[in-house]
Chains A and B, each alone.
Chain A
């Protein structure tokens, strides 16, 4: 068997993991499963695409940064896209989720997120059609790195970007006052308020982090695969499986869960066949819920 599935799995796992961070944060701090999270990925990817297009229209064709397939317009577009996706999440919270949260029933918010998901997806299809599109149609040559594994420069760059972002978010949530406030909110929202934590501020930070990372994951999918209105929705199951496998509320857990699911999917494609890819997340999700519902890094409520 070829070891190529390791690279494929790590890449898929990075995208899943970045998305799962948002899922796990929303679940532990805002206390609901956000089914619109996948659509943040798609909106982020399209926002970045529009930004890259606008730069192309203004400055003409920009040469890519060798040996990557993309140049500075994509990097700038990604930053703009992250900001846009964060604003989208804040707007959605203001218009929809904050109102539904006031009813203090998680199921209402979850159903609201289903509706938001459908609306966001349909809007993308309406504006951009459901035809797939690409950041670049250039073909990259994958370099052999031994053991029969091949990897492209884009893939290496995106793996490093993922590692840097995960480390950054981990440090933010464990070493800063903002991060401690987020932990406090997830463990005991009533006491957090008593301790003087500005709950609304923590909610905003949670949305911004989750949505910005979703945008990065969406752009990664766009660079390595393709951009489609359904791209984020298709990631929902693996993202939730990763968040639950890692243990709800745990950022390292979400990333490790994402990598495990990515590797398992890629391994299954090679061993059993591509039609079984989607089943892998489902099987892992079920197994975790039955065997260890608190996940790998989860802690029992005390």
Chain B
């Protein structure tokens, strides 16, 4: 039995009180896994991981990171606790250089550690090393995504949480981003991601959840999930609620 890093239990969350978008969702992420959260538009996927990252108010349920309750932790303390979040858009500081973007993220590290950590990221993402003096706003879409991921990874989080890393990228860059995530996992990083691009995400994932109307309705091994008829039904929204109870296991 592998060790659970992130344990989300019966989470209810939403921007406005009394209007939950996430309605009792439970997911777990084990050490070293890539877990993918899929679901139709408006299922609450992004809200789920934003709530986990402290960005959407939680009204019920718990979030445990390495067994520690982080449900009520403010967003700015999350990286220190070991949860690094990469937003879908506007995920770099556009007017700052690539290097300064990384330096800002080193705020929680010891001062002496910062230069080595930045070099480590440059070794992992040579594209960024080549452009360290350019403003992050001038990077291409794929490079910007790399910088956003490097910004999150630099603190060696226990879990890396990504909100649709392929959104808005050209197909060429989508492949690059998913290769990058696979490589990051190989280096031992635990990853939770939400994705619209289900096929690409399942290709690199270990397990996946299908979220519908704010609750996980199905869980399975990533490689075979797409072939499961229940998933197709859930995805296409064909009144799955009754049958799903038996088919989900």
A residues within 8 Å of B by Cβ? Answer: 177, 180-181, 183-184, 187-188, 190-199, 299, 302
Q: Are B95 and A196 in contact (CB under 8 A)?
A: no
A180 touches B95 (CB 8 A): no
Question: B122-138: which have CB < 8 Å to A?
Answer: 137
Partner of B151, one of A177, A195, A302: A195
- B29 interface residue, CB < 8 Å from A? no
Query: Known interface pairs A180-B104, A184-B104. Does A191 touch B76 (Cβ–Cβ under 8 Å)?
Result: no
Contact surface of B with A, Cβ cutoff 8 Å: 53, 55, 74-80, 85, 87, 90-96, 100, 103-108, 137, 151, 155
A180 touches B90 (CB 8 A): no
Pair B95/A299 contact, Cβ less than 8 Å: yes
- When C-beta atoms are compared, the residue in chain A nearest to B151 turns out to be A195
Residues of A within 8 A of B96 (CB): 180, 183-184, 187
A188 to B106, CA, bound (A): 17
Partner of A302, one of B76, B108, B137: B137
Evaluate contact between B87 and A190: CB separation under 8 angstroms. yes
Give the residue of B90, B100, B107 whose beta carbon is less than 8 angstroms from that of A197: B107
Q: Which residues of the partner chain B approach A299 to less than 8 Å between Cβ atoms?
A: 95
Q: Which chain B residues lie closer than 8 Å to A188 at the CB level? A: 90, 93-94
Picked from B90, B103, B105, the residue with its CB within 8 Å of the CB of A196 is B105
Q: How far is the CA of A194 from the CA of B79 in the complex (A)?
A: 7
- For residue A174, which residue of chain B has the nearest CB? B100
The CA of A190 and the CA of B163, in the complex, are separated in Å by 14
Residues on the B chain within 8 Å of A187, using CB: 93-96
Contact B87 A302 (CB under 8 A): no
Which residues of B are found within 8 Å of A197, using beta-carbon distances?
76, 104, 107
Say whether B90 contacts A184, CB under 8 Å: no
Q: In the complex, what's the smallest C-beta–C-beta distance from B51 to chain A, in angstroms? A: 13
- The reply to whether A195 and B95 form a contact with Cβ atoms under 8 Å apart is no
> Are the C-beta atoms of A196 and B100 separated by less than 8 Å?
no
Interchain CB contact under 8 A, A177 and B87: no
Which residues from chain A contact B87 at a C-beta distance below 8 Å?
Answer: 190-191, 194
User: Can you report 11 A-B residue pairs in the complex whose CB atoms are below 8 A from each other?
Assistant: A183-B93, A183-B95, A184-B93, A187-B95, A190-B55, A191-B93, A194-B55, A196-B76, A196-B155, A197-B76, A198-B76
B107 touches which of A190, A195, A302 (Cβ 8 Å): A195
Residues of B within 8 A of A302 (CB): 94-95, 137
Contacts of B76 in A (CB 8 A): 192-194, 196-199
Which of B74, B77, B79, B103 is within 8 Å of A180, CB to CB? B103
| Contact residues in B for A191 (Cβ distance below 8 Å) | 87, 90-93
B-side contacts of A196, CB under 8 Å: 76-80, 105, 107-108, 155
A-chain residues with CB within 8 Å of residue B80 when the two chains form the complex: 196
Q: Is the interface of A mostly helix, strand, loop or mixed?
A: helix
- Of residues B93, B108, B151, which shows the largest number of chain A Cβ atoms within 10 Å of its Cβ? B93
B155: chain A residues at CB < 8 Å are 196
The distance in angstroms between the C-alpha atoms of A83 and B79, with both chains bound, is 33
Please give the distance in Å from B52's CB to the nearest CB on chain A. 12
Q: Smallest Cβ distance from B121 to chain A, in angstroms?
A: 14
Q: In the bound complex, do residue B100 and residue A180 qualify as a contact, i.e. CB atoms below 8 Å apart?
A: yes
Besides A180-B107, A191-B93, A193-B74, 8 new A-B residue pairs in contact (Cβ under 8 A), listed by A number: A177-B103, A181-B104, A187-B94, A191-B91, A192-B76, A195-B107, A197-B104, A302-B137
Closest to A299 in B: B95
Contact for B90 among A190, A193, A198, A199, CB less than 8 A = A190
In order of increasing CB-CB distance, the 5 nearest A-B pairs are A196-B79, A302-B137, A193-B76, A302-B94, A187-B93
Chain B residue, CB-CB nearest to A195: B105
A194 and B78 contact, CB distance less than 8 A: yes
Q: Which residues of A contact B105 (CB under 8 A)?
A: 195-196
Q: Which residues of B contact A198 (CB under 8 A)?
A: 76
CA distance A196 to B53 in the complex (A): 11
- Flag if A195 contacts B104 (CB, 8 Å): yes
| Best-buried of B55, B87, B103, B107 by chain A (most CB within 10 Å) | B107
- Cα A193 to Cα B74 with chains together (Å): 9
When C-beta atoms are compared, the residue in chain A nearest to B85 turns out to be A194
* A193 and B107 within 8 A (CB): no
Check if A183 sits within 8 Å of B100, measured CB to CB: yes
Chain A: CB-nearest residue to B108:
A196
- Contacting residues, chain B, for A183 (C-beta < 8 A): 93, 95-96, 100, 104
Q: How far is the CA of A7 from the CA of B108 in the complex (A)?
A: 46
A41 to chain B, nearest CB (A): 29
Cα A193 to Cα B87 with chains together (Å): 12
Q: A191 vs B151: C-alpha distance in the bound complex, in angstroms?
A: 11
CA–CA, A299 and B136, complex, Å: 13
B50 vs chain A, min Cβ distance (A): 10
Contacts of B103 in A (CB 8 A): 177, 180
